[in-house]
């Protein structure tokens, strides 16, 4: 455990020593802020119009702003995650520092967990940018807190899952661009799977739909914790980290 935290801290330090962490945070903050602006503007406009027509039903802030916004955030995360994970192992393999890690008295699994956890923490920092906007809603409105927390939990689980996939892909190459590109493609595919099968009710359709990472986020974004979705994410994280461990081990055998 001590070693996991050691590697994790080193990872986090190197993210923040390079522009990548700041760029991702700025990029996400900007896009999310823009989404927040349009969503809030539209809601204000709609409720204003509703009032003009004498309908006294102000829209729910949770439904009108927070839910679509966090859904939007989960999509944006698909694009950011390859940039977080692409360097994890590819860079170490290229510069040869992997030799230091692999010849130190540290278990392989500690290295992998440390790297994944480091990526996870950076992802949390990036997500935290969205809280600036959400905090504004709490300051001037009265949204329900629980569904927001559940949606964030969903974002974290989905992110953890994609980060584990990205970490696995990064162990298989020494080229960061390849690692990032392939991870991006896989993320995109997992996102698109839900589109392809949206109206497909056949058995294969439902299996493919189940595999899509985005479909499992829907319940979270509604504020519902379905154990089915949580189990999917957790088992996916476990499976991908297991694959990473195998790939990492094979580095020794294939060299």
> Binding another protein by CB under 8 A: which of 1, 52, 96, 142?
96
Spatial contact of 119 and 163, defined as CB atoms under 8 Å apart: yes
Is 101 a binding residue for another protein by CB under 8 A? The answer is yes
Stretch that binds another protein, among 7-15, 54-62, 139-147, 219-227 (CB under 8 A): 7-15
Site for another protein in 107-126 (CB under 8 A): 107
Looking at residue 106, the DSSP 8-state letter turns out to be -
Give Cα 103 to chain centroid, integer Å: 32
Min dist CB 251 to another protein, Å, is 9
Spatial contact of 159 and 120, defined as CB atoms under 8 Å apart: yes
Neighbours of 199 (CB within 10 A): 7
The pair of structure tokens assigned to 241 is 């980290």
Min dist CB 140 to another protein, Å, is 41
Spatial contact of 196 and 208, defined as CB atoms under 8 Å apart: yes
Min dist CB 2 to another protein, Å, is 8
Specify the residue for token string 């298989």: 172
Question: What stretches of the chain adopt beta strand conformation (E)?
Answer: none
> Binding another protein by CB under 8 A: which of 52, 57, 105, 139?
105
Q: Which is nearer to another protein, 75 or 250 (CB)?
A: 250
Min dist CB 171 to another protein, Å, is 16
Site for another protein in 14-33 (CB under 8 A): 14, 17-18
Provide CB contacts within 8 A for 84, sequence distance 6+: 15, 20, 24, 119, 122, 123, 126, 163, 166
Return residues touching another protein (CB under 8 A).
2-3, 6, 10, 13-14, 17-18, 95-107, 252-253, 255
């Amino acid at each position: 455990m001590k070693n996991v935290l050691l590697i994790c801290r080193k990872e986090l330090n190197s993210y923040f020593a390079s522009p990548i962490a700041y760029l991702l945070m700025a990029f996400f903050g900007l896009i999310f802020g823009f989404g927040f602006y349009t969503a809030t503007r539209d809601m204000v406009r709609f409720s204003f119009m509703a009032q003009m027509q004498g309908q006294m039903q102000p829209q729910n802030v949770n439904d009108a702003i927070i839910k679509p916004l966090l859904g939007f955030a989960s999509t944006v995360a698909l694009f950011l995650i390859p940039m977080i994970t692409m360097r994890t192992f590819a860079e170490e393999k290229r510069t040869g520092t992997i030799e230091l890690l692999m010849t130190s008295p540290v278990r392989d699994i500690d290295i992998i967990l440390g790297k994944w956890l480091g990526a996870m923490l950076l992802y949390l920092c990036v997500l935290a940018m969205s809280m600036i906007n959400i905090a504004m809603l709490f300051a001037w409105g009265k949204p329900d807190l629980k569904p927001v927390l559940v949606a964030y939990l969903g974002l974290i689980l989905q992110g953890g899952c994609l980060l584990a996939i990205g970490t696995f892909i990064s162990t298989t190459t020494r080229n960061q661009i390849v690692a990032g590109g392939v991870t991006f493609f896989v993320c995109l595919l997992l996102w698109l799977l839900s589109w392809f099968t949206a109206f497909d009710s056949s058995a294969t359709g439902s299996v493919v739909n189940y595999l899509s990472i985005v479909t499992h986020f829907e319940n979270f974004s509604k504020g519902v914790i379905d154990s089915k979705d949580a189990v999917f994410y957790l088992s996916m994280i476990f499976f991908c980290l297991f694959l990473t461990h195998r790939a990492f081990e094979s580095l020794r055998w294939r060299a």
